A = this chain, B = another copy of it.
């Protein structure tokens, strides 16, 4: 039986929604969690929710704030996040879920849990929605300045994520650039392209920004700086569009009525696009699953993150990743 350590004090709605998420994961999916945080508060919530069975709690006294410098986490050794990561490193838990300070989660993922020795750097993969399914954008923030070797590894990690977790067979891999043709791009892209071409991945060449949400690629590789700004820009564009449409709708009675009639359809769409359905974004290549959820994660988002962390274990993600590292990289080339 696996057990996921959950940082109960991280996130905008912690500990309330986080603890409820752990309960949901247990009740609906039968997944056990280790609740790390302020024991008294956690017990109160569990009691209020009428949960009588024993859930393991590990008491901690410190909290990493959402706006704290991520590096603080390595000094605050009694914070819920640090302790949760340490439990994973020591084998007392099999994976980590946190809705806390993204940078801090990354830091413990990299330096407390650590990455697979065969990989120099773990990467964050975001499964973004498109009309036909999902596209993995990798890396979206773990590595700002990258070398060609790293992008090659990200491609391989993204391939494994798409195939093993998202169920996409023989995923089409692209490298993000500013034109379709080989030879277009910045120095990093131009140097990485031949490595990807030589690999045994299903490499389809350069992807453009417009491919990210079009479903033309299953995995798109970029450095973490580019991926991060795209991810955040997309979110902000979504908000801006909704805001601007709302303002127009408010100006007319018929439009307001129309919006009301469309609501169920819009809710279905929102469900498809909603981060709470995804269960967060994984730090891929860490020794154990690390799932970073949105700071605004509610109980459902936490439950889904726990489910995903568990899937990484039951699908033997790391074993497949290592196998792919041995078999799919360019042979006889020093990268």
Contacts and interface: CB of A to CB of B under 8 A. Distances in A.
Contact of A255 (B223, B240, B265): B265
A244 interface: yes
Contacts of A176: 229
Contacts of A98: none
B209 A229 contact: yes
Contacts of A230: 209, 229-230, 233
Given A145-B186, A209-B235, A210-B236, 14 more contacts: A209-B233, A210-B232, A212-B237, A213-B239, A214-B239, A226-B229, A233-B233, A241-B273, A245-B265, A249-B265, A254-B261, A254-B262, A254-B264, A255-B262
Interface of A: 69, 103, 129-131, 141, 144-145, 176-179, 181, 185-187, 208-214, 222-226, 228-241, 243-245, 247-249, 251-252, 254-255, 257-266, 268-269, 272-273
Contacts of A223: 186
Q: Top 4 closest A-B pairs, CB basis?
A: A209-B232, A258-B261, A258-B262, A255-B265
B255 A236 contact: no
B258 A236 contact: no
A179 B103 contact: yes
Contact of A248 (B179, B225, B268): B268
16 contacts: A129-B240, A131-B240, A131-B244, A131-B247, A144-B186, A209-B233, A210-B232, A211-B236, A213-B237, A214-B240, A222-B229, A237-B238, A245-B266, A252-B265, A254-B261, A258-B261
A224 B266 contact: no
B129 A244 contact: yes
Nearest to A234: B237
Given A209-B230, A233-B209, A261 B255 contact: yes
Contact of A231 (B145, B181, B209, B254): B209
A240 B214 CA distance: 7
B226 A248 contact: no
A113 B211 CA distance: 32
Contacts of A225: 177-178, 185-186, 226
A213 B186 CA distance: 25
A228 B234 CA distance: 14
A210 B186 contact: no
Contact of A258 (B178, B187, B214, B260): B260
Nearest to A224: B178
A241 B241 contact: yes
A145, A177, A244: most-surrounded residue (chain B CB, <10 A): A244
Nearest to A228: B178
Contact of A208 (B214, B232, B237): B232
Given A229-B226, A236-B212, A257-B258, A269 B251 contact: no
Contacts of A240: 129-131, 213-214
A263 B234 CA distance: 24
